[in-house]
Structure 1
Amino acid sequence: MFISVVIPTYNRKPILEKCLKALEKQQLNDDIISNYEIVLVDDGSTDGTLEWLQENKKNFPHVCAFSQDHLGPAAARNLGVTKAKGDIIIFIDSDLVVTETFLQCHANALVKGEKKLGSDRLFTYGAVINTCNFDHPTSEPYKITDFSAAYFATGNVAIARKWLEKAGLFDTGFQLYGWEDLELGVRLKELGLTLIKCPEAMGYHWHPPFNLSQIPNLIDKEIQRGRMGVLFYEKHPNFEVRLMIQMTLLHRILWGVLSLGGMLNERTLAPLLQWLINQGKPQLALEIARIFLNWYNVKGVYAAYQEKK
């Protein structure tokens, strides 16, 4: 098989360098993988990503770089797929650092899964481990908060390109934050594709340690995710999607109660969050912040739904 790793990126040059270096160090079994390429799509970065890549292209022989205006990850991934040469597409994000056996683990799981199912209607989903360790991201252990029940998420997934083309690629109407990959997943599920978990294909998702200055951006993302959730529901108006986007009475009650009707918010919780950060526990602070972040998301999805009616 020939593998194309499709990566959209936007202003992530420091961690992108680690991402690409890790992909250049892959240990491959030639009996399964004939070759691979890294299809990088720059989504209108302003941090000099393309210039840096051009200056260092000799260090990244597998990279084929393309660019577009800032149209969002859905359009960037679609461009990547159309430019890719491989029969297998692996999607990762540009802030993901993988192990040296990453590609081989996905390939092995695809071959094994096809033999087990007697069908090629499948895709593999690797492990995504969140880390704040920029210097040594792959040293982070797996945590319970790293668990994902998503059916199709582009942080670490391998799939035959023919199924992407048959499903219709990503809907570029999802121009704000969230849901474009899970919406494609609904269409792939309708085609009868089976999810094969592949925890051996490990990717370490780096993000800077949580601090209070990030909160406005995180709130904005939750509001955007609410708006895109309504678009998701318009395309697939069923209860399963309502659960996914948190547009149910249960979610309104749950996050309303946990946030005390919004009384526990970015202002009232700020002293506690800062104290935890000072104690060296930024991840715990972020998990507590999710109380009001989820409340913003629930309010956002209902507000967007009312606008549509």
Structure 2
Amino acid sequence: MFFSVIIPTYNRLPILKKCLTALEHQSNHNSVENYEVILVDDGSTDGTLKWLQDHQLEFPHVRWFCQTHQGPAAARNLGVQQAEGDTIIFIDSDLVVTENFLKAHATALIQASKISDRVFTYGRVINTCNFEYPTAEPYKITDFSAAYFATGNVAIARHWLIEAGLFDTQFHLYGWEDLELGVRLKKLGLTLIKCPDAVGYHWHPPFALEQLPNLIEREIQRGRMGVLFYQKHPSLEVKLMIQMTILHQVLWGILSVGGRLNERTMAGVLQWLINQGKPQLALEIARIFLNWYNVRAVYAAYREL
């Protein structure tokens, strides 16, 4: 099995260094014939390319390509087009994997293929804000994901991606491009195989109030792209995924008191929690009004149709 690990990146150089280093230290296993790392720089302005050029001898498995800033869908498509492997693994550039990462995906794929070749594996993603030792974070209930196809840690035969049509580059803002491809893969009859031994640690900085404007903008973009998702696949399943139901309107409307609990009115409480060393709890509380922004953006985009 020849793996091509495809990583889109945009201005994430500090954690990208850890990401690539971890991939260079994979344990040998006879089911992994070879592997390459395809890094696609999506127009970074933080010196990513200069760093790669200066350190290329340290990363013999890495090949990199560049594009103007077009988003992760276009970046992943470029990676698939340039890949030499028969099996593609998608991860993000802020994911740090364990040394058995490739071995675990290979073992699960080989085992599942004895029953059917219409399978792909989804590894475990553990969220952490520990930059120095990201792999020290334990698994938490909040790390559970019920997504069918998410590019944070997934392995799939390259030919299925080609047959499904790759990622839709109309998803140029944040969100849904991987789950939309997942709908098309499901129509091809592919089955998800959970692979908890293929572990990746998804790093993000500790929550701070300064992040709220970007988080709100991301929710608004996710709402707009969610409506595009529904346009392409108008089903109840997609409506539930993008929160375009009366239930979601009522739920987040009540919890946010009609938007009265927001980044301004909650700032004091959130900052207090952060000062108490509980930034993750502060973020979970902030998700109440962040989800309200998302639901409002979904319906605003839908009204524009």
Q: Is contact 1:222-1:296 (8 Å) kept? A: yes
Aligned to 1:147: 144
Q: Given the alignment of the two structures, is residue 242 of structure 1 paired with residue 234 of structure 2, yes or no? A: no
Cα distance in 2 for partners of 1:261, 1:231 equals 25
Cα distance in 1, alignment partners of residues 208 and 164 from structure 2: 40
How much does 1:28 deviate?
2.2
**Separation in structure 2 between the aligned mates of residue 108 and residue 142 of structure 1, nearest angstrom:** 22
Take 2:49 and 2:82, find their aligned partners in 1: how far apart are those partners?
Answer: 17
Aligned to 1:22: 22
- Is residue 2:284 matched to residue 1:287? yes
TM-score, structure 1 normalization: 0.98
1:156 corresponds to which of 132, 153, 156:
153
2:185 is the alignment partner of 1:185? no
Deviations 1:71-98, CA, capped at 9 Å, x for gaps? 0000000000000000000000000000
Structure 2: distance between partners of 1:276 and 1:269: 11
Which residue type is aligned with residue 98 of structure 1? V
Contact kept? 1:210, 1:285, Cα under 8 Å: yes
Measure, in 1, the Cα distance between the counterparts of 2:141 and 2:290. Answer: 20
Question: What is the deviation of 1:119?
Answer: 1.2
Cα distance in 2, alignment partners of residues 163 and 202 from structure 1: 23
1:11: which partner in 2? Answer: 11
The answer on 1:274 being equivalent to 2:277 is no
Alignment of 1:89-128 (within 5 A): 89-115=88-114, 118-128=115-125
1:167 corresponding residue in structure 2: 164
- Which segments of 5 or more consecutive residues in structure 2 lack a partner in the other structure? none
> How many percent of aligned residue pairs carry the same amino acid?
76
The equivalent of 2:86 in structure 1 is: 87
Tell me which residue corresponds to 2:50.
51
3-state SS in 2 of match to 1:209: coil
Q: Quote the offset at 1:256 in angstroms.
A: 0.3
> Is residue 24–residue 60 contact of structure 1 (8 Å, CA) maintained in 2?
yes
Q: CA deviation at 1:114?
A: 1.2
Q: Distance in 2 between matches of 1:28 and 1:109?
A: 16
Count of residues in correspondence between the two structures? 305
Whether 1:264 and 2:261 are equivalent positions in the alignment is yes
* CA deviation after TM superposition for structure 1 residue 46, in Å: 0.3
Q: How far apart, CA to CA, are the structure 1 residues paired with 2:111 and 2:131?
A: 34
CA displacement at 1:129 relative to structure 2: 0.4
Trace 1:219-230 onto structure 2 (pairs within 5 A).
219-230=216-227
**Structure 1 counterpart SS, 2:194:** strand
AA paired with 1:85?
E
Q: Per-residue deviation at 1:47?
A: 0.5
The alpha carbon displacement at 1:234 in A equals 0.3
Deviation readout 1:183-202 (Å, 9 max, x if unpaired): 00000000000000001100
Per the TM alignment, residue 33 of structure 1 is displaced from its structure 2 partner at its CA by 1.0
CA distance in 2, matches of 1:199, 1:215: 32
Superposition CA RMSD, Å:
0.4
**Cross-structure match for 1:77:** 76
Correspondence for 1:218: 215
Is the contact made by 1:28 and 1:103 (CA closer than 8 Å) also made in structure 2?
Answer: no
TM-score, reference length from structure 2: 1.00
SS at structure 2 position matched to 1:154: coil
Q: Could you say which residue in structure 1 is the equivalent of 2:37?
A: 38
Q: Could you give the per-residue CA deviations for residues 38-59 of structure 1, whole angstroms, max 9, x where no partner exists?
A: 0000000001101100100010
Letter aligned with residue 63 of structure 2: C
- Distance (whole Å) between structure 2 residues aligned to residue 79 and residue 199 of structure 1: 28
Q: Name 1:207's counterpart in structure 2.
A: 204
The residue matched to 2:7 in structure 1 has which SS? strand
